[in-house]
Chains A and B, each alone.
Chain A
C-alpha cells in the first residue's frame, strides 16, 4: 500500500444519501451470478473485479493494483422499490409522528419553532449533548398532536407493526409514501428534529440504492475439494440481487399488485436480515445447513464481534497453558515445563558454519526424540516439517542461512503469566527448565507477584521468537528485575512459610557441629568455601546465616517482636530473623540488599536464604501434632474462670435489661444497647484468651514458632484450636433470629444467652456441638458469599480505574499530565517522590544518615 500521511482533523457522522452512494461506488451490480464458466468474476456481478480482487493472479479494474495493494472499492444495487433500513425504524417513526402528513412541516407553531431555534443557535457547536437533549424533547412532545398548526390538516396515530411495517389508522403506509413524506420535511424543521441539515437528510433513512461492500471484505474461501465457498454477506447480497431483479421484471411486465407487494416484502426481509440477522420477530436467514448467517451487525457486535474478538482480543502462537504446582528446588527465575510442552514449542535457530554440526543432530533426532526439532525453514521462507521421510533430504540440502525450529531446552527464555494481569509483575520472564510431569512448576516464592496458589490455578507460557524479543524480555521482565514493586517500593518476593520459620529458628536457637553446618551450606548451593574457615567447632545459626551475606553489608532494623536486628560487616550479630526482615512485602533486609547490591546479587542471596530456611527446618525436624495444641491445666483453669466471669456478667446484663434497669446509650434503643454490651463482653473473651495463651506459651511450640516468625497464623488462631472458638458474627452483630424470635428451634423464644446467639465455647480440638457447628457454618457461608460477590465487583472497579488513569504520565518537570498535556497534579504525589525507589512511599532519613556517617 502506498504511504498515506494524512492527519485526521474531524470525523462527521451522517446518513448516506443516494447521491453519496453513487459517488462512492465504482460498480452497479445487476446480476446475481458470481463467476462465468471459466471461473472468472462476472461483470456487474457481486464479485466484479472493479470492487477489488481476492485472487492472487487478478488485478483490480478500478485501481489497477493486485490483491495485496488494493483494499477494495464499493458498489451499489439499484432497488426496484424503496426499502426501509431496519436500524432506523425508531427514527422514521419519530419523524412521521412529529411532522404533518400533508404539508410536511413540523407540528409546532411558528412561535415555538422560533424559540427552539433560538436556543439551539445559542448552543456551542461542540455541545452535542444539550442539542440532543432538546431535540429529543421536541420529538417527544409531538407524539400526540392531532392537528397541523400550519395547514390545519388532521393527523392520525402512526404505529409500527412487527419489524418494518408502518400503519396509520390501521392502514399500511408503503415505503414509497414514507419516503415522500420524509422528503417534504424542509429547512429549520430538519434541524429541530435533531438532524444535521448538511449531511443527514431524513429521507436517506429509506433506501433506494443498496451500498455493497468491497469483495475484500467478504472473501470466498476455496475448500480442499477445490469448491468455492462464499462469505455469508455475498450469499445474502446474492439473494437481494435475485429478488430485486424479479421485482423489476414483475413491475415492468405489469404484474398484479399483490404479486409485486409480496416480492417487495421479500426484498424488505432480505435487506433487513442483511443488516441484522438477530431481530426479534424476524426469522433469521439460514444456510442450507440450517445455521444462521452472520450478517453486518453480528460481525461487529458483542463478544465474538470485531471489537472484542479481533481488535481487543489477540491470539498468539508459541504459547502453552497448564496447571501450576510448586517446586522449591528450582530457582526463582526458572519455570519447570513438562517435556511434552518442550517438544511442542520451539525456538528458531539460524544455521551458520560454527553451529551446523550441533544443529544437524537436532534434525537427526527429529520431532519425536527429546532435544530434537520440528521444522526447517529455508532461506526462501519455505517451511518444511521434519519427518522420518523428509529427514534425509533436509539434512542433505542443509546449509548456513537455514533456520531450524528446535525443541525448548534448559535456559531458553520464556514469558510466564497468570490472569488477572493487574500488575506488571503478573507477567515475568523465566528461564526454562524441562522437568517430568504434566504441570508447570514455579518456586513458591514467586507465587506472591502472580497471586498464584496451587489449588488448580493454571498459567500461561509464551516463547519469544526473535533475538530482540528475547533480549527485551531478559533485560526488562526477568524475575530479578521485578523484586521491588513500583506500587510501594517494597520487595514483592521474599521468604514464605517454611523458609521463614526455618530462618527464624536458625537465627534464634539452632547450633550445629562444624561439619553439619558446612553440609547444610553446601546443600543450598553455597559453593564459596572461603568463609567456611572462620567457622568454629560449634556453629550458631546466626553464623551460618552470615556466610550468605556480603562482607560489606551493614544493616539495622526492627523485627516483629520490635527487637533490633543488627548486621555488621556481613555478620548477623543480633536479633531473630522473621517475616519483617526476610518476608515478602516489607522484608527490610531484602530491600537493603537490593539497594546496595542490585538485582542479580539480591536474587542469588535471597534464593540461598530461602533454601537455607527450608533445609534448616528439615534438620530441626519441625512438625505439629495434637499435643502441640494442648494447654496446661493452669491455663485451662484460668480460661474457664474468664468464661465463668463473662457468663455471669452477661447474665447480669440480661436480668438488668429485663428489670428495666439498663441505661440506654445515646441514639440507641435498649435492645441495641444490650446487644452492644454483650458483644463487647464476648469479644473481650477472645482477646483475654489470646493474652493468656501468649503469656504462658512455650516458645518451642510449633504453632507459636510459626506465629512469632510471621510464617503463618497468629495467637488467636491458636486460641481457636486450643481454648475456645469464640463469637460468630454476621454483619458485625451476634447471629440473629433464623426462626421466630430465636436462632434455632431448640432455644427459647427471645433467648439472649451467648450460646443461643452463636458463641462457641469449645475449641476445635474438642469438637463443636451441632448448634455451634451450625453457627460456624453460617459465618463461613457468609464470608464465602461475600468474597464470591466482591471479587468481580472490585475487579471491575479496578479495571475502570486503570483505564481512566492509563495515559497519565510524569513529565520531566515532575508534573503529572494526561495525553493532552493538561496538568493533573503539579508535583507527582504532591511530594515528588518516586515510590518505586522509596520504602512505602517515604524516604528513611535515619537510615540515610547512618549510611553516610557510619553511625
Chain B
C-alpha cells in the first residue's frame, strides 16, 4: 500500500512543533510550568509523524464550531 502522510489527512488538524523560544513564551504567557500543559503520548501517530521528542510542545490549530479556529498546545510525554 502506498505510504501516506497522516498530517495531510483532512480530519487531522494542523500540528506543528514549537521551538525553545516559543515554548518559553507560551509558558510565560499562561504562567504555567510545562507539566501543566495538556499531554499527548509519544506513541500518538501524529507525534511519530512529526518525529517529536519527549518534552516537545505541539501547537494544534483545530477547527472550532464556536470560534472557527482554536489553538491548543500539547506536550509530548511517555506513553
Contact = CB atoms under 8 A, between A and B. Distances in A.
Q: Do A and B come from one complex?
A: yes
B30 A830 contact: no
A35 interface: no
B79 interface: no
Interface string B65-76: 111001111000
A823 B36 contact: yes
Nearest to A833: B66
Given A820-B36, A822-B36, A823-B30, A831 B67 contact: yes
Interface in A807-855: 813, 815, 817, 820-827, 829-833, 841
Contacts of A827: 67, 70-71
A826 B31 CA distance: 12
A820 B33 CA distance: 11
Contact of A829 (B31, B35, B66): B66
Interface string B53-77: 0000000000011110011110000
A841 B66 CA distance: 8
A830 B32 contact: no
B38 A823 contact: yes
A556 B71 CA distance: 36
Nearest to B73: A826
Contacts of A822: 35-38
B38 A824 contact: yes
A829 to B, nearest CB: 5
A829 B68 CA distance: 11
Give the size category of A's interface with B.
Answer: 10 to 19
- Residue of B35, B37, B65, B66 with most partner-chain A CB within 10 A: B66
A688 to B, nearest CB: 36
A569 to B, nearest CB: 35
A815 B73 CA distance: 12
A820 B73 CA distance: 17
Nearest to A814: B30
Nearest to A813: B30
B60 to A, nearest CB: 10
A833 B37 CA distance: 22
A822 B65 CA distance: 24
Nearest to B66: A831
A820 B32 CA distance: 11
B29 to A, nearest CB: 8
Interface residues of B, number: 15
A815 B70 contact: no
Given A813-B30, A815-B30, A821-B32, A830 B37 contact: no
B71 to A, nearest CB: 6
Contacts of A817: 36
A830 B69 CA distance: 8
A92 B15 CA distance: 53
B71 A826 contact: yes
Interface in B7-47: 30-32, 35-38
A205 B42 CA distance: 42
A826 B72 contact: yes
Given A813-B30, A815-B30, A830 B36 contact: no
A645 B64 CA distance: 48
Contacts of A841: 66
Contacts of B31: 813
A822 B30 CA distance: 11
B32 A823 contact: yes
Contact of B64 (A820, A821, A830): A830
A829 B66 CA distance: 7
Contacts of A823: 30, 32, 36-38, 73
B38 to A, nearest CB: 6
B66 A830 contact: yes
Interface in A139-154: none
A691 B59 CA distance: 53
A821 B64 CA distance: 24
Contacts of B38: 822-824
A252 B73 CA distance: 75
Nearest to B70: A830
Contacts of A826: 30, 70-73
B26 to A, nearest CB: 10
A821 B36 contact: yes
Contacts of B72: 825-826
Contacts of B37: 822-823
Contacts of B70: 826-827, 830
A813 B65 CA distance: 21
Contacts of A833: 66
Contacts of B64: 830-831
B24 to A, nearest CB: 16
Nearest to A817: B36
Nearest to A815: B30
User: Which of A813, A822, A832: most chain B CB closer than 10 A?
Assistant: A822
B62 to A, nearest CB: 8
A832 B36 CA distance: 20
A821 B32 CA distance: 8
Contacts of A821: 32, 36
Interface string A786-826: 00000000000000000000000000010101001111111
A300 B67 CA distance: 49
A827 B66 CA distance: 11
B76 to A, nearest CB: 15
A273 to B, nearest CB: 48
Contacts of B35: 822
A160 B67 CA distance: 64
B22 to A, nearest CB: 14
Interface string A728-763: 000000000000000000000000000000000000
A827 B35 CA distance: 18
Nearest to A821: B36
A831 B67 CA distance: 5
A830 B38 CA distance: 15
Contacts of B30: 813, 815, 823, 826
A80 B66 CA distance: 73
B35 to A, nearest CB: 8
Interface string A592-630: 000000000000000000000000000000000000000
Contacts of A829: 66-67
A845 to B, nearest CB: 15
Nearest to B71: A826
A836 to B, nearest CB: 15
A830 B67 CA distance: 6
Nearest to A811: B30
Nearest to B72: A826
A516 B27 CA distance: 70
A822 B67 CA distance: 22
A820 B38 CA distance: 12
A4 to B, nearest CB: 31
A825 B38 CA distance: 8
A721 to B, nearest CB: 40
A826 B73 CA distance: 8
Nearest to A824: B38
27 contacts: A813-B30, A813-B31, A815-B30, A817-B36, A821-B32, A822-B35, A823-B30, A823-B36, A823-B37, A823-B38, A824-B38, A825-B72, A826-B30, A826-B70, A826-B73, A827-B67, A827-B71, A829-B66, A830-B64, A830-B65, A830-B66, A830-B70, A831-B64, A831-B66, A831-B67, A832-B67, A841-B66
Interface of A: 813, 815, 817, 820-827, 829-833, 841
Given A822-B36, A822-B38, A831-B67, 6 more contacts: A813-B30, A817-B36, A820-B36, A822-B37, A825-B72, A827-B70
- Which 9 A-B residue pairings sit nearest by Cβ, starting from the closest? A831-B67, A830-B70, A831-B66, A830-B67, A830-B64, A822-B36, A830-B66, A829-B66, A821-B36
